[in-house]
């Protein structure tokens, strides 16, 4: 009986197919592995509590790009890297206009992983995109979707990739792992009761142009 059982197991192992990641899954997992080390969690202590958001490391010395509304009226800012290390951050540059972007700086002895910025002028409606952030404090969360609409008047990208409170400041990525937008907001008619699949990101080209003008890239 034992020989029959052993032969049966051997037969099963030869007949059953070997499951592996599909080509698209492999692309997504590789993008996440590459980009997640350059994404941080931002906790800004406010008078009324804590504001949580995400950020992208754009310089290995510790310069972080995020949404300005994440740290509005802050007292102090704590940045947590993907490996769980905490750093006190300072505001490097606050841009006094309506772009809703801000630069933070943390001091670290080791060079940090950085993101690569893409070209948001090349994006298309229907294109698959990925988002990485810290929704509701769940750090390093990856979601995917498509570009649902491009609002040329308001200069923002609409996506159905799940974006929730805590995702602001995180990257919207193409399948090459390049940032095409900075996640900013969601359409929220029911006060965070549900996510209805309408999120918005600032096109990365407008951010790049602005940073270049101010000599930060």
pLDDT of residue 111: 94
In 73-203, alpha helices (H)? none
Q: Which among 147, 37, 55 is positioned nearest to 104, based on CA atoms? A: 55
By annotation, the residues acting in catalysis are: 69, 100, 168
pLDDT value, residue 10? 45
Mean pLDDT computed over 80-99: 88
CB-based burial of residue 27 (10 Å sphere; 0-12 exposed, 13-18 middle, 19+ buried)? middle
pLDDT recorded at residue 93: 87
pLDDT of residue 16 exceeding 50, the answer is: no
Is residue 191 a contact partner of residue 78, using CB atoms and an 8 Å limit?
no
Q: Please report the pLDDT score of residue 75 as a whole number.
A: 83
Indicate the pTM of the whole model. 0.84
Q: For residue range 121-175, list pLDDT tens digits in order.
A: 999 999 999 999 999 999 999 999 999 999 999 999 999 999 988 999 999 999 9
| CA gap 85, 43 in Å, rounded | 13
Asked if residue 169 lies in contact with residue 122, where contact means CB atoms within 8 angstroms, the answer is: no
Tell me: pLDDT of 187 over 60: yes
Confidence at residue 215, expressed as pLDDT on a 0 to 100 scale: 62
The two tokens of residue 165 are 């409170």
Tell me the average pLDDT of the chain: 86
């Amino acid at each position: 009986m034992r020989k029959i059982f052993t032969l049966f197991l051997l037969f099963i192992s030869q007949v059953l197919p070997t499951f592996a990641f599909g080509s698209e899954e492999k692309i997504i997992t590789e993008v996440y592995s590459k980009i997640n080390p350059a994404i941080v969690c931002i906790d800004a202590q406010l008078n009324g509590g804590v504001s949580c958001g995400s950020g992208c490391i754009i310089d290995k010395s510790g310069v972080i790009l995020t949404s300005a509304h994440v740290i509005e009226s802050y007292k102090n800012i704590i940045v947590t890297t993907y490996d769980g290390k905490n750093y006190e951050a300072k505001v490097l540059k606050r841009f006094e206009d309506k772009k809703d972007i801000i630069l933070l700086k943390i001091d670290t002895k080791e060079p940090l992983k950085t993101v690569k910025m893409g070209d948001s002028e090349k994006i298309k409606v229907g294109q698959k995109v990925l988002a990485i952030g810290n929704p509701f404090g769940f750090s390093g969360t990856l979601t995917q979707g498509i570009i649902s609409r491009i609002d040329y008047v308001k200069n923002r990208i609409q996506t159905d990739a799940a974006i929730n409170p805590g995702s602001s400041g995180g990257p919207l990525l193409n399948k090459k792992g390049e940032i095409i937008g900075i996640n900013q907001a969601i359409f929220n008619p029911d006060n965070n009761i549900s996510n209805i699949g309408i999120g918005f990101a600032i096109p990365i080209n407008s951010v790049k142009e602005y940073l270049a003008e101010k000599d930060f890239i």
